[in-house]
Chains A and B, each alone.
Chain A
Amino acid sequence: MKGSGVLTALAVNFLILSLMAFGGANAVIPEMQRQAVEVQHWMTGTQFAALFAIAQAAPGPNVMVVTLVGWQVAGVLGAIVATAAMMGPSWAVTFAVFRVWDKFKYQPWCMTIQNGLAPVTVGFVASSAFLLARDADHDAITFVLTAATAAVAYWTRINPLWAFAVAAALGVAGVV
């Protein structure tokens, strides 16, 4: 089961996601979850939410959820394949663009594309929040945790890690 077929599926999935990840990995969470849970049946929605939570609570960029999904599906090799597939294309695009950057830095069409992509990114990120909350919010307390964290992160400059710490403490204590 953990043969080259699974690794190929991981690679193809994350290569495609890589080029759609405008605004970072959070934008492609809906598609990652749809593929991992509904299409490929690699894990349950709750497992996906747990992996996402681990990636968020760990240091480093939030793209780490990709590494974890690969690891869950096919061990260390899966983690490497998934991470390389997710990062390879955007590495190549970024490197190529910065080689020619100075030529078109302040072109008006650049602003036009940016203005056009921004609302699409907002739609993607809002969808990620909705879908993750749907798998995590089983009762009133988890729903309040989601709402409270959103409010703190939006209106204050308090480090969101505090919200994670409070949530973890409530969860471990069995309140959730």
Chain B
Amino acid sequence: MTAEVQPSESAAAQDPGLWDLFLHFMLISAVAFGGVLPWARRKLVDDRRWLAEREFLDTLALCQFLPGPNIVNLSIAVGARFRGLPGSIAAFLGILGLPCIVVIVLGALYSRYGNLPEVGGGLLAVSAAASGMILAMAGKIATPLLRRRPVEAAPVIVAVFVTVALLRFPLPWVLLTAAPVSIGISWWRRT
């Protein structure tokens, strides 16, 4: 997240309708290369003023805690807040519709031209870079966690990595074992 916290408490001049929700989440998805959240913040807080900075951060914090992509959860939450069930569906279709069409077109191009050595080489290189980006993401979540709660967090991180990445255990088993244990540790060592 960006550090610029502006006092935009004067928020929401007018509540958005269904079409506004659909349109503006679609516009967010269209420009959001390499990380959607900074764009979403700019649009929702600075540009449309649907949310105050504080509301945006609170909503985002809860979205990170729920299953599913943060930005998609955020669209559902914002849509539901202003227009209930129809609003959440409008915002959800807005954020996912266009990217779905784009990737299917790219996928079709890949299946047509994927055998060309240039395309294969290009995609291999991009996937090498993309895996580096995921690694950085793991590092970014891990850093504050390890600084704040090293004794509790480190063993869980290592155990999950070994079972998932090296031993290739099915994820549901690992999650159903590791999550209760880790939440138990977190409760036992609560501050």
Contacts and interface: CB of A to CB of B under 8 A. Distances in A.
A60 B133 contact: no
A76 B104 contact: yes
Given A16-B172, A119-B152, A146-B131, A90 B73 contact: yes
A163 to B, nearest CB: 5
A105 interface: yes
Contact of A28 (B32, B122, B140, B171): B171
A176 B96 CA distance: 33
Majority-rule SS of A interface residues: helix
B1 to A, nearest CB: 11
Contact of B62 (A67, A97, A142): A97
Given A51-B107, A116-B187, A60 B66 contact: no
Given A94-B73, A117-B183, A122-B141, A170 B125 contact: yes
Interface string B100-142: 1011101100110010011111111111111111111111111
B102 A26 contact: no
B30 A26 contact: no
A118 B138 CA distance: 11
Interface residues of B, number: 94
Contacts of B184: 116
B123 A171 contact: yes
Contacts of B92: 87, 91
Majority-rule SS of B interface residues: helix
Interface stretch (B5-13, B15-23, B174-182): B174-182
Nearest to A157: B2
A172 B152 contact: no
B40 to A, nearest CB: 10
Contacts of B164: 30, 123-124, 127
B65 to A, nearest CB: 5
B100 A171 contact: no
The 7 A-B pairs of least Cβ separation, nearest first, read A123-B160, A60-B99, A90-B68, A149-B132, A116-B183, A171-B125, A153-B136
